[in-house]
Amino acid sequence: MDRIAGIINLDHEQDMLDELTYFRCGAAVPFAGRYRMIDFAISNMTNSRIESVAVFARRKYRSLMDHLEQGKAWDLDRKRGGLFILPPDWNDPTDISRGDLQHFHNNIDFINRTLANYIVVSGSQHICNINYQDVLQEHKSSGADVTVVYKKVDELYPEHQRAHKLDVDQDNRVTAIHNDHSNNNVYMDMYIIEKDLLYSLIEKCIAHGCSHFFLDGIKAKLPEINIHAYEYHGGHALVNSVESYYRNSAKLLNPEDHDELFKDDAPVFTKIKNEAPSNYTATSNVSNTMVANGCVIEGHVEDSILFRGVKVAEGAVIKNSIIMQRCEIDSNAVLENVILDKDCSISNGKTLIGAPEKPYVVAKRRTM
């Protein structure tokens, strides 16, 4: 039986979400009412029967460790395998590896020891619901060395500029990887590769002083390496800026977009908070809003997302906003086009209004 192990490589992900990534990496940013960005990447692995997952983290990963704990929420508290949060080893003076190769090199034991014969490597910025067993099947039948995952997006947004694009021939073989802004074959930062090949490519990269495994070890080797392209058809969002975060969050209020991402047979797992059901009082007025558990809503909320444990007092008005965990909105406050990070409180009568294309972002634990 083929087995897959997973690596979530955060090394090249820039923390571009302004206030939301002041104190945490992008993978730890709360998303969709009760999740963190990385929950989607890990749940995809769990739902694909991957029982061993390493997270390559370098910066601002305190909040990530707090969230992931022992991996229990993703069923990754295993005796064999399970979840590993692995920073690079900063203390080895003989280490000549650079960039994310440092991660691969320092944590080579993870690759060596796993019983899996295939490795899936993904980032955390492409939100999707993908089954890597399907990717593996296509990878095997294509006979390719590496299979990369891409999404043909309907419309190119600014966030896609930073993503790599693929030129794909009629046999779904990748002919070029580049940044051409007019190409809508967006590479989703995910690939599957046989373990032994991964191992030898890592060795070569380190020997040649490379610092980016995918670009130097795989992309640069085209066409001598056979790269197959797997087209992903499900719901997809690339979140790498406040603007893309805000727009893709709002998209989840559309039930069709929502159901593309959240499926009964492939649920998204997250750390459990044991909150009570949300309480809507007699004065509440809620419309087109996603509400997580533990909220107490006495005021008016529309076209918004409320995370767990948010309190909205009577007379408060919230529109087109994202309110994160445990924020408290006092009476007669007005919030429109606002993103409140966790634990903020908005006092009585305060008004905060952002622009529809540029929301007003309030950093964690602020009182306004």
- What are the residues binding another protein (CB under 8 A)? 32-34, 253, 255, 258, 262, 267-270, 272, 274-294, 296, 302, 305-306
Closer residue to another protein, CB minimum distance, 175 or 288? 288
Q: How far does CA 261 lie from the centroid of its chain? A: 12
Rounded Cα distance between 279 and 312, Å, is 11
Q: How far is CA 26 from CA 16, 49, 57, 209, 241, in A?
A: 7, 25, 11, 27, 9
Which of helix, strand or coil describes residue 63?
A: helix
> What's the min distance (Å) between Cβ of 35 and another protein?
8
> What's the min distance (Å) between Cβ of 168 and another protein?
33
Closer residue to another protein, CB minimum distance, 50 or 193? 50
Give the angle 317-322-328 at the CA atoms, nearest 5°.
60
Rounded Cα distance between 152 and 285, Å, is 39
> What's the min distance (Å) between Cβ of 55 and another protein?
20
Query: At residue 90, what are phi and psi to the nearest 5 degrees?
Result: -85, -5
Rounded Cα distance between 186 and 302, Å, is 33
> What's the min distance (Å) between Cβ of 268 and another protein?
7
Closer residue to another protein, CB minimum distance, 121 or 290? 290
Closer residue to another protein, CB minimum distance, 119 or 295? 295
Q: How far does CA 15 lie from the centroid of its chain? A: 12
Closer residue to another protein, CB minimum distance, 273 or 366? 273
Closer residue to another protein, CB minimum distance, 182 or 274? 274
Q: What is the number of residues in the chain?
A: 368
> What's the min distance (Å) between Cβ of 189 and another protein?
23
Partner residues linked to 319 by β-bridges: 302, 336
Instruction: Please identify which residue in the block is written with the tokens 């969002």.
Output: 237
> What's the min distance (Å) between Cβ of 361 and another protein?
21
> What's the min distance (Å) between Cβ of 179 and another protein?
34
Closest to 103 in 3D by CA, of 5, 210, 191? 210
Rounded Cα distance between 362 and 359, Å, is 10
Closer residue to another protein, CB minimum distance, 143 or 277? 277
